[in-house]
Amino acid sequence: MKSNTEKINIIIIGGSKLSQEIIESVDFAEQYHIVGVIALDKVKPQPVYTSNYPMYHGMSAFYELQQKHHITHGIVDLQDLNLKKDCIKDIQRSCKGFQFINLLHPSVVLGKNVQLGSGNIIGAKVIMNSDSTLGDFCWINNRVSIGHDSTIEPYVTIDTNATIGGNTRIGKGSYIGMSANIVNDITIAKHCHIEANTLVLRSVPANTKMRGIPATVVPS
C-alpha cells in the first residue's frame, strides 16, 4: 500500500451516507488520501457520517483546508442537483485549476473507447460498454449497465440496477431510478425524472416525469 506522502490529497464535499461509499472507493483505489470531508450547512437534516476521516462544516472550512494543505483535487458527492451545481461553480470560480477527480470502484468494467468527463462517481459492478460517453459530475450507482454507443450528459444520476440500452442518450440533469429499464435507441431529454422500475419504450421530452411498466407521464 502506498504511503500518504505518495498519494494525492483530496477533499470530499458531502458527508452523507453516500460519502461512506465514496470513502470505500477511495480506500480501494489507494491513490488518494482524504484530508477531510466537508458537510454543507445547507443540507437539511444534517448528513449522517460515521468515518474516521475528519469532518468540517461549510464551504469556508473547505477553502481553509484547501489553502492550508495546497489541495488541488477533490470530489462532490451531493445528491441535490441545484446544491451540487452551485457548489461546483463556486469552487471553479474561486480555486482556479482545481481538479474534480473521477472516482471509480475497482469492480467497474469499462469497454473499449469509453470516454469519461470529470467529477464522476461510478459505483461497484457498473458496466459501461464500448464507445459510450459519460459527461461531467454524474453519479452512476452500483450495478448499472450502460449500453454501447450511449451518451450520458453532465449531472445525470442513474440509480442502482438500472439498465440503459445501446445507442441511448440521457440529457443533462436527468434522474434514472433504481431498476429502471431503457431499451435501445432512446433519447431522454434534459431534466427528466424516470422513477424506479420504469420500463421506457419511447423517447422522452425534456422536463418529463415518468413511472410504471410501461412508462406513463406523471402530471406536473
Question: Buried b vs exposed e over 179-198: b needs ≥16 C-beta within 10 Å?
Answer: ebbbeeebebbbbbbbbebb
Domains by residue range for the chain, with CATH: 4-100 (3.40.50.720), 102-208 (2.160.10.10)
pLDDT value of position 79: 84
Evaluate if residue 51 carries a pLDDT over 90. no
Instruction: Express as a percent the part of the chain with pLDDT over 90.
Output: 71
Residue 17 has pLDDT above 70, yes or no: no
Best CA proximity match to 55, nearest among 34, 86, 29? 34
Q: Bridge partners of 127?
A: 109, 145
Annotate 118-175 with DSSP letters as a single string.
SS-EE-TT-EE-TT-EE-SS-EE-TT-EE-TT-EE-TT-EE-TT-EE-TT-EE-TT-E
Q: What is the DSSP letter of 204?
A: B
Q: pTM for the whole thing?
A: 0.90
- Which are the contacts of 130, defined by CB distance < 8 A and separation ≥ 6? 111, 112, 113, 114, 148, 149
Residue 19 in this model has a pLDDT that exceeds 80: no
User: What's the pLDDT at 1?
Assistant: 45
According to DSSP, residue 45 is labeled S
Helices and strands (DSSP H and E) totals, the chain: 3, 24
